Amino acid sequence: MNHFDFVIIGSGIAGLYSAILARKHGSVLIITKGSIEDCNTRYAQGGIAAAIGKNDSPTLHFKDTIAAGDGLCDKEAARILVNEAPERIAELVRLGVPFDTLYGEIALTREAAHSVSRVVHAGGDATGQHIEVTLSNLVRSLKAQILEHSLATRILVKKGIVSGVKVLNCHTGGTEEFSCRFLILATGGAGQLFKFTTNSAVATGDGLALAYDAGAEIIDMEFYQFHPTALHLPGVTPFLISEAVRGEGGILRNIKGHHFMPDYTSDSDLAPRDIVARSIIHEMRKTKSDKAFIDVTHLPAHTITTRFPNIYHFCREHGLDITRDLLPVAPAAHYMIGGIKTNIWGETNIPGLFACGETACVGVHGANRLASNSLLEAVVFSKRIIQRASGQVKIEEQATTQGLADMRTTLSRRQAQRKVPPPRLAALQTLLWNKVGIIRNKEGLTQAADTLASWQKLLPQPTTRPTYELSNLLLTGRLVVEAALLREESRGAHFRTDFPKTSPQRQGHLVFNKSTIHP
C-alpha cells in the first residue's frame, strides 16, 4: 500500500508522538533515514519544562520564555506552550515515560534563565533516551508502518496541495513514492553544519531543505543556539554537559581557576545560554585556552552520580572523575531556533504540509530558546497538528502566528569565487564554525555566503544519502548565513561585533521563500 492518511518524516519525539496520536485517526507511515532510534531526542539530557511545581505557574513560565526570547517570541504561541505543558507531561506519564520522582511526586530541577525549578527529567540526565525508548516501543506496538533507512528526497505537490513524498532507499539506491492526505515533517535540526556540535550525525537539515524546495516559508534562520558546555577532550566527540549541572550548583572556572561568570552578568552561571556561551568564548580568548571548566567537586559525590549518571560514567570512561576533577568544556552548536514557518496548528503555507519539533518554527523560542522548552514544544504542537488534521478543531481561516512584522526575502545572487575547492562536509563545517559561529561580523559572513553559493553551484545532483545530506546542509547553511547578514544587530543567539547592540527597528522576522531562487 503506497497511500496513507498521515506520512510522518522523522523518528524523534515529535515524529513518534505525532504517530501515536495520528494512529487513532487513520493509517500512518513513519519514514526515517536511519533506524527508528536514530535521532537527537535520545541525547537530550536536561528534560522538559512545565509549570507543575507548587511555587510555579504558567504565567511565570511564560515570563521566563518571553525574557529568554529577547523580543522575538510569538506571545500567542508561547502562551499555548506553557498553558498546555502540564497536560502534555501527564499524557507522557500515561504513555509510560518514567519521569524521576521524589517523595511520590515528579522531581523538578532548575536550569539557566528559569526563575524556579520546573524541569522534569527521567533517569537523571537520560530524559531523551527514556522518552525515545518509550515512544518507539509504543509505535511498534500500534503497528504503524515504519520505513527505516529511507530518505525523503522530494515533497510532491499537486495544484498547490501536498500529495505525497519521494523516498530513496539508502541500502539499494532505489526510489519510491508515497501519497498521503497529510505530510508531517519532524526531521530535527542541522547541527552537522558546524565543526563542533552536540547533535547526532542525522541532524543535516533535511526537512528544512525539503520544505524550502517545495515552496514553504523559512523563518528566523540567523538564530542558532550554541550550548555553552560540551565536554572538550582531545579526540573525543563533543558530549553535552547538561545545563542542569549548573542548575544543581556547578561553577564555571577558567584555566586559572577563577570563577568568571559574575564578571559578565549578575545572573552568573545561570544566565541565558547565549550570554554564557559568549562569556566562555571571551574567557577562553583572554586566557589563550581552548576550554573552560565546570567545577562540581564541592557538591556531594552521591548527588553527582545519581543526578547525572550518564555524564558521570561517560567522563569516567575518558579518565575523569567529576566528583574530584574539573570538567573541561567549550561551546558547541546545539539547537536550530529558526526553521519551517508554521502557525499555532503546525500548518505551513502549503496546504497539507505540517512541521513540528526542531525543524519547525512556530515562534515560541524567539531569538534564544529557554532551556528545556524544546521537547515541550515538540509534544505541544505535535498534539495540535493531529487535532487540526483530524478535524477535532475548526477555524474559519488559517490561523496566523508571528505577531511581529515579517520581511520576506530570497537567497542573494552571488558571483562564483575563483579557486573554490570542491564542497566537502568537513570544509563546510569548518567554514560555518569559523565564520558563522557564536560571534559574527560582516566580513566573515560575506566570505561564508560567497563560498556556500559557489559550492552549491558546483555540487552534482545527489544520488545517495551522504550526497543528499551535503546538499541539504549547503542550502540550510546559505539560509543561516544570508539571514545573519541581513540582521544588522545583535539579539539573542545572534551576535555581530560590527552591530553589537539590539536595534528596536529590527524587532521583526526574516522569512525566506522560493518565489525566486538564485542558487
C-alpha cell at position 250: 556547578
- Of the candidates 246, 273, 384, 496, the residue annotated as catalytic is 273
Any residues with CB less than 8 A from the CB of 100 and at least 6 apart, and which?
A: 106, 107, 120, 121, 122, 123, 124
Any residues with CB less than 8 A from the CB of 361 and at least 6 apart, and which?
A: 218, 219, 220, 337, 338, 339, 340, 341, 342
Q: Which residue blocks in 110-180 are alpha helix, DSSP H? A: 127-141
Question: Using alpha carbons only, what angle is made at residue 71 by residues 66 and 72, rounded to the nearest 5 degrees?
Answer: 90
C-alpha cell at position 282: 571571551
| Helix count and strand count (H, E) for the chain | 13, 22
273 catalytic? Reply is: yes
Is the CB of residue 373 less than 8 Å from the CB of residue 82? Answer: no
CA distance readout (Å), 269 to 223, 281, 292, 420, 486: 22, 14, 13, 42, 31
C-alpha cell at position 381: 504542537
Q: Indicate if the alpha-carbon torsion angle 370, 372, 373, 375 is positive or negative.
A: positive
**CA 355 to CA 336: how far, in whole Å?**
14
By DSSP bridging, strand 292-295 and strand 327-336 are antiparallel
**CA 290 to CA 332: how far, in whole Å?**
12
Amino acid at 416: A
Q: Which residues are catalytic?
A: 273
